Amino acid sequence: MPDSGVPEFLEGALRFGIKPGLQRITRLCEILGDPQESFPCIHIAGTNGKGSVSAFVSTMLACDDRRVGLFTSPYLERFSERIRIIDGRQGLSMYEQDETTGEIAPDDLARLSSEVEKATEQMVSEGYEHPTEFELITALCFLYFKEQNVDVAVLEVGLGGRLDSTNVIRNPLVTAVCAIGYDHTDRLGETIAEIAGEKAGIFKNGCPAVCLDPSITILGETDRKTVRDVLTAKASEAGADISFAGDEATLDSCIFKEDGRMAFTYRGNTYETSLNGRHQAANASVAIDTAARAGLTDEVISEGISRTVWKCRAEIFCKDPVIILDGGHNPQGAESLAALMGEIMDGRLKGRPVRLVMGVMADKDVMSILTKYRDGGIELCEAVAVRPDNARTLPPDELLYNIKLVYNNGVKTKGYDDPCEGVRYAFDRSREDCVPLLVTGSLYLLGQIRTYLKGII
């Protein structure tokens, strides 16, 4: 990854791993004065789409001239992206001009990290386990949003929902659950019912719960029914008022414009967005209903959908040569991307082979991801495998082996340990032969490559 600017105390907490549970974050927040109780929030979970929905909702709130705190994960280019203030309409305009606008400043990050460190020392002295890195960042985020006096915070769940550290909040304005699929099965459960139950763990008594209608997800029919039944039952148990967002008509209404934007219709209103794909129309439907339950007007919602940007989600990064950046890191995301590649930019890429730059984590279902690409119509003229800067990376030679298996050895391949070398090679080739360049896989990779591409284009 590029230089992240992460304080040493937070970075050092990586050694404590991922340990779902609310006991540590609850005590940590208590010592810090329960900062999460000082602002209203909207809480968003899901296997796929929760980052996009968070971006949609926070932009809508800013269009309503509210001071918005946005907490997302993981970061792409800078750690500070994860904790951001969008200060109403003026702040949104500034963000549109400079994507670093509103990110937590290094001095604030260091100062609040020190405060969280002192609280951690106290709780450990009391006999509690040391908090995980994500728990520490969550607590720091709460402190910052309290200090910044936000009108409302939009919180993206890190992993699961029920035992995620963001779930220490007690009274959200609205909770939302996006598309549910098979990912992190080692921690969330091997069945779709178990996974859906974990996501539904963010539901709260008396709080509206907006969920993507499982009938328009890419799950099988039996799994779709299971997800709906589990979400409905969990909402009843929690005393949450549940509703389902999205429908087939919305997905069928998508029009992919030549300028790279997409138009779609939902509940009789037509919207336009820079986030492409039927899956993004589905995500937008969740955001629209979530914003409506939070009291926003149709006009504000429409403006927010139009002005939302979200990096590395089928992002058209360059048009000459065409460069698409997408952080699709599971089979569901791969299927959505494959469907989109034949439609984006008014179908200009339909039937055209692409040059692939890819890097993934070793714990991902790589064969299924590649099979979704192939079966979805993504034809490769060349594949470049790279190694993202992460200890869990699948080695490039193993990724290339899988690519050759799925594509029957019909693809020219190259491997690079240095992602920047790999994308430089691919970019130079695509600039010469005009073959579209698709960069995909781990978000750890996308952030590094996006930063590099900004320096050479």
Query: In the structure, what pLDDT confidence band is assigned to residue 92 with cuts at 50, 70 and 90?
Result: very high
Query: In the structure, what pLDDT confidence band is assigned to residue 211 with cuts at 50, 70 and 90?
Result: very high
Query: In the structure, what pLDDT confidence band is assigned to residue 89 with cuts at 50, 70 and 90?
Result: very high
What is the residue-averaged pLDDT of the chain?
94
Q: Identify which has the larger pLDDT, 392 or 120.
A: 120
Give the pLDDT confidence score for residue 23 in this predicted structure: 97
pLDDT, tens digit (0-9, with 9 covering 90-100), for 233-244: 999 999 999 999
Pairing assessment for the beta strands 437-441 and 322-326 based on DSSP bridges: parallel
pLDDT at 218 > cutoff 80: yes
pLDDT, tens digit (0-9, with 9 covering 90-100), for 289-347: 999 999 999 999 999 999 999 999 899 999 999 999 998 778 888 998 999 998 998 89
Task: State the Cα–Cα distance between residues 61 and 50, nearest whole angstrom.
Answer: 16
Give the pLDDT confidence score for residue 146 in this predicted structure: 98
CATH of 315-456 given 3.90.190.20, 3.40.50.880, 2.40.50.140, 3.80.30.20: 3.90.190.20
Least confident of 167-176, 219-228, 298-307, 436-445: 436-445
Q: Identify which has the larger pLDDT, 128 or 346.
A: 128
pLDDT at 403 > cutoff 90: yes
pLDDT, tens digit (0-9, with 9 covering 90-100), for 248-292: 999 999 999 989 899 999 999 999 999 999 999 999 999 999 999
Give the pLDDT confidence score for residue 3 in this predicted structure: 47
Every domain range in the chain assigned CATH 3.90.190.20:
315-456
Give the pLDDT confidence score for residue 2 in this predicted structure: 42
| Mean pLDDT, rounded, for 375-393 | 91
* CA distances in angstroms from 228 to 167, 215, 242, 335, 423, listed in the order given: 21, 8, 11, 21, 42
How much of the chain exceeds pLDDT 90, in percent? 83
pLDDT, tens digit (0-9, with 9 covering 90-100), for 342-377: 899 889 999 999 999 999 989 889 999 999 999 999
pLDDT at 14 > cutoff 80: no
Least confident of 48-52, 119-123, 330-334: 330-334
CATH 3.30.565.10 fits 8-307, yes or no: no
Give the pLDDT confidence score for residue 74 in this predicted structure: 85
Q: Identify which has the larger pLDDT, 167 or 48.
A: 167
Query: In the structure, what pLDDT confidence band is assigned to residue 42 with cuts at 50, 70 and 90?
Result: very high
| Mean pLDDT, rounded, for 24-33 | 98
At 290, which amino acid appears? Answer: T
| Mean pLDDT, rounded, for 125-145 | 97
Give the pLDDT confidence score for residue 388 in this predicted structure: 86
pLDDT at 4 > cutoff 80: no
Q: Identify which has the larger pLDDT, 18 or 190.
A: 190
Every domain range in the chain assigned CATH 3.40.1190.10:
8-307
| Mean pLDDT, rounded, for 116-122 | 97
